[in-house]
Amino acid sequence: MLFETMPVITGAETDAALRFCAEQVVRNLPEFTYQFQKAYSEHSFYQPIENTDWTTGFWTGEIWLSYEYMTAAGDPSAALLKKAGEIQVESFLDRIVRKIEVDHHDMGFLYTPSCVAAYKLTGNQKGREAAIKAADQLITRYHPVGEFIQAWGAMDAPENYRLIIDCLLNLPLLYWASDETGDLRYRDIAEKHIHTAIRNVIREDYSTWHTFFFDRKTGAPDHGATCQGYRDGSAWARGQAWGIYGCALAYRYTKQPEYIDLFCHVSEYFLRHLPADMIPYWDLTFTDGDDQPRDSSSASIAACGMLEMIRFMEPDDAAVWRTYAMQLVKSLLDHYAVTDPAVSNGLVLHSTYSNHSPYNTCNHYGVDECNSWGDYFYMEALTRLQKDWNPYW
Ligand code: GLY
């Protein structure tokens, strides 16, 4: 086993960390009930935004995770959290009805931790309606030629005839929609996308491509390219982490045995490229001694993927991956988590959204800050460690 001497988080630490997160979320409610947290903090503080970005579902997801925690703890703030979650669900319903900034593939990131969660936890019917409409929107982005869901841009734009690895997290919405409606179209599209994505984004050495292009006429795989990684051919840390969680979800939904093997290989690549404290730099090319920012959100996403996968593993293998997840979360707690509300209104510092390099195609923002998914997946990992969690995904 790698990182043999790294400590694991204890049960008491998990509970205390989760309590701090839930209390931080409650403290944020006055500012962020009718508005949402921006994707990333500035000088460690989130500003409020309207419900227009691909990231707003994570904040609502934090509200629902806090609601779960406070309900179990018998804390009266549970009622406040439920009310705030319901207000946000109404905003998501309005957004999908009016089609505000929904011409992209991130319907799962938006509608799973917000609306599917609301429906699963409280039977919220507006959440159900909104999430089914979001699934309808997502399948409009499916290309039968190539069998994938296009991530970004106009559907006829040649420069965007591609999928991205992150999309594996958007697909549970489609499986859920099939289960809810009995309409198998959603699930069929999800399954086709999963197979296409996994066949193409995972390289021979089990590092991953961020994005992958297909031939528009034949659908044949064309080439991989990065957008947010350091360069083509390197492994963007968060892409690798989406791959870890994505393989676990792919197994859960398809039960293809080879996806467990792929999960192990993709996760091992991630672990082998971590610095001493296990929290990756923004691209796995970098390590201790490199003057580069971290992406703490990748550690949380990877931990969640591991905790998802172990639900389907033999006990000995499950124990190994649970230990890695507990080490990742312990390091986040000890060195990256916010401990003082005066320092930040977020949950986890030192994350990187989009770091421009001479070799990539992304803009530069949210570097070495909190970000909304980093906070959400940290809470999800803690919740998964604390109890037998019924996943929103
Ligand atoms: N899904 C976009 C990102 O991870 O930055």
Q: Is residue 106 annotated as a catalytic residue, yes or no?
A: yes
Query: What is the C-alpha separation between 321 and 384, in angstroms, rounded?
Result: 13
- Say if 243 falls within a structural domain: yes
Mark 271-295 as b/e (b = at least 16 C-beta within 10 Å). Answer: bebbeebbbbbbbbbbeeeeebbbb
pLDDT recorded at residue 252: 98
Helix (H) or strand (E) holding 346, with range, is none
Query: What is the C-alpha separation between 362 and 357, in angstroms, rounded?
Result: 8
Query: What is the C-alpha separation between 319 and 323, in angstroms, rounded?
Result: 6
Pairing of strands 48-49, 142-143: unpaired
Distance 315 CA to ligand 1 centre (A): 32
Distance 106 CA to ligand 1 centre (A): 9
- Angle formed by the axes of helices 11-28 and 56-72, nearest 10°: 120
Q: How many residues belong to the chain?
A: 393
- 391 φ, ψ to 5°? -60, 145
pLDDT recorded at residue 233: 95
- Say if 113 falls within a structural domain: yes
Domain total in the chain: 1
Pick the atom of ligand 1 nearest to 109's CA: 1
Note down the domain range covering 32. 11-386
Helical spans, DSSP H, in 161-288: 172-181, 185-201, 237-254, 258-272
Residue 210 beta carbon below 6 angstroms from any ligand 1 atom:
no
pLDDT recorded at residue 116: 99
Query: What is the C-alpha separation between 88 and 337, in angstroms, rounded?
Result: 26
Candidates 15, 106, 136, 222; catalytic one: 106
pLDDT recorded at residue 218: 98
- Say if 90 falls within a structural domain: yes
- Say if 195 falls within a structural domain: yes
Query: What is the C-alpha separation between 67 and 2, in angstroms, rounded?
Result: 36
Considering only CA atoms, which residue is closest to atom 1 of ligand 1? 166
Amino acid 155 reads M
* pLDDT tens digits, one per residue of 13-67: 999 999 999 999 999 999 999 999 999 999 999 999 999 999 999 999 999 999 9
- Say if 294 falls within a structural domain: yes
pLDDT recorded at residue 192: 98
Closest CA to 352 of 274, 262, 238, 254: 238
Distance 390 CA to ligand 1 centre (A): 24
Contacts with 157 (C-beta within 8 Å, 6 or more apart), sequence order: none
Query: What is the C-alpha separation between 179 and 388, in angstroms, rounded?
Result: 22
In a 3-state reduction of DSSP, which class is residue 376? helix
pLDDT recorded at residue 358: 98
CATH number at residue 93: 1.50.10.10
Distance 69 CA to ligand 1 centre (A): 27
Query: What is the C-alpha separation between 104 and 167, in angstroms, rounded?
Result: 10
Residue 277 beta carbon below 6 angstroms from any ligand 1 atom:
no
Residue 63 tokens, joined:
């509200």
Q: Name the residue of 152, 228, 375 to mutate for ligand 1: max ligand atoms within 8 A of Cβ.
A: 228
* pLDDT tens digits, one per residue of 68-117: 999 999 999 999 999 999 999 999 999 999 999 999 999 999 999 999 99
Considering only CA atoms, which residue is closest to atom 2 of ligand 1? 166
Mean pLDDT by 10 residues, the chain (393 residues): 97 98 98 98 98 98 99 98 98 98 98 99 98 98 98 95 98 98 98 98 98 98 98 98 98 98 98 98 98 98 99 98 98 98 98 98 97 99 98 98
Pick the atom of ligand 1 nearest to 373's CA: 4
- Say if 305 falls within a structural domain: yes
Residue 368 beta carbon below 6 angstroms from any ligand 1 atom:
no
Pick the atom of ligand 1 nearest to 238's CA: 4
Query: What is the C-alpha separation between 9 and 18, in angstroms, rounded?
Result: 12
Considering only CA atoms, which residue is closest to atom 5 of ligand 1? 353
Q: State the DSSP string of 29-71.
A: TTTSSSSEE-SB-BTTBPPEE-TTSTTHHHHHHHHHHHHHHHH
Pick the atom of ligand 1 nearest to 166's CA: 1
Which value, in Å, is the radius of gyration of the alpha carbons in the chain?
Answer: 19
pLDDT recorded at residue 51: 98
Residue 238 beta carbon below 6 angstroms from any ligand 1 atom:
yes
**Long-range CB contacts (< 8 A, 24+ apart) of 101-106?**
101/52, 101/53, 101/54, 102/134, 102/137, 103/154, 104/54, 104/141, 104/151, 104/152, 104/153, 105/138, 105/141, 105/149, 105/150, 105/151, 105/152, 105/164, 105/167, 105/170, 106/54, 106/166, 106/170
Query: What is the C-alpha separation between 187 and 350, in angstroms, rounded?
Result: 36
pLDDT recorded at residue 47: 98
In a 3-state reduction of DSSP, which class is residue 104? coil
Spatial contact of 18 and 75, defined as CB atoms under 8 Å apart: no
